[in-house]
Amino acid sequence: MVSMVDLTIHRSSEQIGGNCIEIACAGERLILDVGRPLDAPNDATDLLPASLDRAGHAHVLISHPHLDHYGLLEELPASWTIHSGEASAKLMRLTAGITGKVIDRDILPWRSGQPLDLGRFRVTPYLTDHSAFDAYMLLIEAAGKRILYSGDFRIHGRKSALVDRMMSSPPAAVDALLMEGTNLGSTKPTAHESDLEADFEGLFGRTKGRVFVAWSAQNVDRTVTLYRAAKKAGRTLVVDLYTAEVLEMLAEHGRLPQPGFDQLKVVITSTMSRMYKRKGMEAFVDRIAQSGHAISGRALARNAARWVVMLRGSLIADYDRSGVVPDGDDAWCWSMWRGYLESSGAPLVEWLTAGGAASCHIHTSGHASPADLLAFAKAIAPKRLVPIHSFNWDENLAGFPAICRLRDGETLSL
C-alpha cells in the first residue's frame, strides 16, 4: 500500500511570520518552523496553533534564526527533536540570552546539501540568501513525493548566487512548493546589497562629521556592507558589544569582519557593559576592553570625520554622557524597515535631529521582490504552489503556476 504524504499549514497561510507547517507520512511527522506571531504581545504564552497535535513524536526543522520562525521552541513537547543550521542554533541561543531567557533544548545541526534521514523522511537543507544569517530552504522527500519549503529568501543579498544556482538547476519533480510571498503587493526596496554599499560609501564621503547608522546586529550582510563602505571611504566602523559578540560567534561560519580587523572598533558603554556583567560575561567585556580593538565614547566625540557609529536607542544616554551629540556636520541613517522607525523610533529621531544632523534611509528588504518570487516559482515548476507567509497572496496570484491555496488548518494530501 502506497503511503500518502499530508501537508498541513497550521499557521502562515494568510499572515507574515508565525510559520508552523506539518508534513506527515504513515504516522511520522515533520514540523517546519514554530514561529512566534509578529503581533503577539511580549508576555503572551500558549501560542502554538490549536490545530497542531502535540501528542506523539515529531521532528522540528527551523529554517532560520528569526523569532517569527523559531520563537515557540520552548512550548514544544520535550520529546520532540529539533534540527537547524549550526550557526542558527548559536544565534537563537544568543538572542534568548539577551532577553534573559534560555533555550533549554538540544538543537541538532545539519549541513547544507547533506541529506538528513529522519524516519520515513529525507531532508536536504540548502543554504539560501536572506537577511538572517544561516537561512535555509528545505527539500523533503517521503513516499516518492518531494516538497520544497522556501523558508524566507531573496535574490539580492550577498548570497544571491545560492538562489541563482537552485533556479538554474532546480530539484526535479517537485510535487509541492511552499513559497513565501512577503513582498507581494508592496513597494519595499529590493536593491542589491552591493548597491547599498555604494550608497553608503557616497554618504560617508560627503558627510563632514560622524555618520550614525541604525541596523540589526544579526543582519550580518548589512554589517559587511557597512564595513566595506567605511573602509573605501577611509572611515572606521564602530560597533557595540553585542554586534562584536555576534561577529566573533560566527567567525568560523564565513569570512566576516571581526574585532581586530583594520578600521573596526568596538565601543564600550556602561549600559551594555552592565548588561553583559549581569549575564556573567564580564570576562568578555574585559577581553574586548583590553584588546586594543575597543574605543570609548569620549574618543567618538573627537575627530568626528573618522567614524561610522552604530546607533540604537539603548546607546543614546551613554553617548550623551560622553559628549557624542549629533550636530549639523553629522548625518544619520536608518538601515532597517521603516515600520520599526515609525513604531518605536521617536526618541532616537528626536535626539538625532535636535542638533540638525541630516537623515536618510538606506535599506533593502530581506525578502524576494514580487518579480523574483514569480521567477523562482517558474524555475522550480512545481506540480502545486502552496502560498504562505504573506497578507497579499489572494490579490497577487496572476502568473504564478499551479496555485493550490490552503487556509490555516487545512490539509493537502499528495
CATH number for the domain spanning 203: value is 3.40.50.10710
Mean pLDDT (whole number) for 44-68: 97
Q: Give the pLDDT of residue 385.
A: 98
Per-residue pLDDT at 340: 84
pLDDT for res 100:
79
**Are residues 73 and 123 located together in one domain of the fold?**
yes
Final residue belonging to a domain, choices 361, 376, 403: 361
Contact residues for 379 (Cβ-Cβ < 8 A; gap 6+)? 166, 167, 168, 170
Provide the domain count of the chain: 2
Count other C-beta atoms under 10 Å from residue 123's C-beta: 24
List, in sequence order, every residue forming a beta bridge with 341; answer none if it has no partner.
none
Residues 294 and 386 placed together within one structural domain of the fold: no
Say whether both 356 and 401 belong to one domain: no
User: Are 262 and 178 within one domain?
Assistant: no
Is residue 120's pLDDT more than 70? yes
- Looking at the structure, do residues 17 and 136 belong to the same domain, yes or no? yes
The per-residue pLDDT for range 137-177, each reduced to its tens digit, is 999 999 999 999 999 999 999 999 999 999 999 999 999 99
* The pLDDT value given to residue 280: 87
Asked which of 317, 346, 361 is the last residue of a domain, the reply is: 361
pLDDT score of 1 more than 70: no
CA distance 276 to 285: 7
Contact 174, 383 (CB under 8 A): yes
Q: Are 149 and 22 in contact (CB under 8 A)?
A: no
Task: Decide if 381 contacts 196 (C-beta within 8 A).
Answer: no
Other beta carbons less than 10 A from residue 107's beta carbon: 20
Domain span at residue 217?
193-361
Residue pointed to by grid coordinates 544565534: 91
Confidence band of 252 (pLDDT split at 50, 70, 90): very high
In terms of pTM, does the model score above 0.75?
A: yes
Please compute the mean of the pLDDT values over residues 243-252 and round it to a whole number.
96
pLDDT at residue 56 is higher than 80:
yes
Longest dimension (CA), the chain: 76
Residues 390 and 292 in one domain: no
CATH assignment at residue 388: 3.60.15.10
pLDDT at 344 exceeding the cut of 80: no
Same domain, 167 and 295: no
User: For residues 43 and 18, what is the distance between their CA atoms, to the nearest angstrom?
Assistant: 16
Per DSSP, 261 falls in state B
Measured between alpha carbons, how far is 252 from 330 in angstroms, rounded to an integer? Answer: 36
Same-domain pairing of 313 and 409: no
CA-to-CA distance for 210 and 220, rounded, in angstroms? 22
| DSSP 8-state assignment for residue 292 | T
39-64 average pLDDT score: 95
- Whether residues 13 and 159 share a domain: the answer is yes
Choosing from 321, 344, 361, the residue where a domain stops is 361
How far is CA 162 from its chain centroid? 16
Q: How confident is the model at residue 3 (pLDDT cuts 50, 70, 90)?
A: confident
pLDDT digits (tens, 9 = 90+) for 382-408: 999 999 999 999 999 999 999 999 999
How does the average pLDDT of the chain come out, rounded?
95
Q: What would the pLDDT profile of 308-326 be if each residue is shown by its tens digit?
A: 999 998 899 999 999 999 9
What are 278-287's pLDDT values in tens digits?
A: 888 899 999 9
Indicate if 386 and 357 belong to the same structural domain.
Answer: no
Sole residue written with cell 573602509? 231
259 in the same domain as 117? no
Residues 179 and 226 in one domain: no
